[in-house]
Amino acid sequence: MVLLQPDPFLNELTSMFERSTEKGSIWVTLKRSSMKCKATRNKMETSGQPIEYRCLVRATDGKKTISTSLSAKEYQKFQASYATVLKAHMNALKKRERKDRKKTVEPEKKQDSSKSNSSKKRALSTLKPSK
Amino acid sequence: MVYIESWDEFVDRSLQLFRADPQSSRYVMKYRHCDGKLVLKVTDNREMTTHIDRFYDGAIDLKDMFFITSDVLDMKGHFDKLLVIMLLLSCLKFKTDQAQDAKKMEKLNNIFFTLMVRGPDADISEASSKEQMEQQASKKGRGRRQ
């Protein structure tokens, strides 16, 4: 597992996406972590030291794994760049076909309105002779 | 392990699961370009037996659990009710092939980044990336401390 700085991590993640278009998967995992082992954490807790938590981000293509950790100061910039990377590469998902929906809905509406108009006409025609 | 149909329900339950155990919970995204599929998972990494033990120890009170609906609470079979709740607690999944869900996922990503760095009690202002950029720009202009 390679621990990288945030920017190199994003670059490598981009490469992973580019390599995995034909086949394969990309996993990205987010986890809260102090980046310290349990023994150190317990010592810090008992001595009353505040533990600084970070966000651990891991990414893998099944073969290679990379990671980075974000502090409170870094994470907002990272999340914006991360969103850009995802938007650029996750474009194999289906988009809503609104045009097709409109085509199927409109003729139905026309048919319904023509039916209702004819029924209204019949109702009016029955009313008129009563005058 | 349960696939949740509704996005909003997935978000609400995931945040609840994370807040219940921020140390052990993780948020996973899996993307397959060749199939056009996206799967999200939130888990607290516990085996079901742990949840069952906590339930019997009284650590989990079913009535206090925000998203347990009355139809589950009223279930006559004690074991069935337990199974439903435990499944929902330990691992939540959401799968999709729709591009619009990727946009929704972006907001959830931001929420999890905030919660994981600042802590489970952090205030989640649903600031979009544009708003954050504007805030950063205004801060730079006025010379405020970060």
> Could you give the 3-state DSSP secondary structure of residue B79?
helix
Please list the rounded mean pLDDT of every run of 10 residues in chain B (146 residues). Answer: 88 91 96 97 88 81 64 72 73 95 96 95 66 53 56
Cβ contact, residue pair A75, B32, below 8 Å: no
Chain mean pLDDT for chain A:
82
* Whole-number pLDDT of residue B48: 79
CA–CA separation, B46 and B32 (whole Å):
27
pLDDT digits (tens, 9 = 90+) for A35-90: 999 899 999 989 988 889 999 999 999 999 999 999 999 999 999 999 999 999 99
Give whole-number Cα distances, B99 to A17, A98, B138, in Å: 17, 13, 32
* Whole-number pLDDT of residue B89: 73
Question: Which of B23, B36, B8, B73 has the alpha carbon at shortest distance from A42?
Answer: B23
Is pLDDT at A116 greater than 50 in this prediction?
Answer: no
**Residue B10 Cα, gap to closest chain A Cα (Å):** 17
**Residue B113 Cα, gap to closest chain A Cα (Å):** 7
Please name every residue paired with B41 in a beta bridge, in sequence order, or none if there are none.
Answer: B28, B93
Band (pLDDT 50/70/90 cuts) for residue A15 is very high
> Could you give the 3-state DSSP secondary structure of residue A58?
strand
Out of B27, B117, B132, closest to residue A72 by CB: B117
CA–CA separation, A86 and A79 (whole Å):
10
Element (H, E) at B78: helix B78-90
Backbone angles phi, psi at B102, to 5 degrees: -65, -35
Question: Which of B90, B57, B85, B89 has the alpha carbon at shortest distance from B72?
Answer: B85
Task: Tell me which chain A residue has its CA closest to the CA of residue B129.
Answer: A80
**Residue A48 Cα, gap to closest chain B Cα (Å):** 18
Backbone angles phi, psi at A94, to 5 degrees: -75, 140
Q: Does B27 touch chain A (CB under 8 A)?
A: yes
* Whole-number pLDDT of residue B141: 54
CA–CA separation, A59 and A1 (whole Å):
10
| B45 touches B25 (CB < 8 A) | yes
| Rounded percentage of chain A residues whose pLDDT exceeds 90 | 65
Which letter, b or e, does each residue of B77-107 get, where b requires 16 or more Cβ atoms within 10 Å of its Cβ?
Answer: eeeebbeebbebbbbbbbebeebebbebbbb
Pairing of β A2-3 and β A65-70? parallel
| pTM greater than 0.80 (yes/no) | no
Q: Does B98 touch chain A (CB under 8 A)?
A: yes
Band (pLDDT 50/70/90 cuts) for residue A130 is very low
* Whole-number pLDDT of residue A69: 96
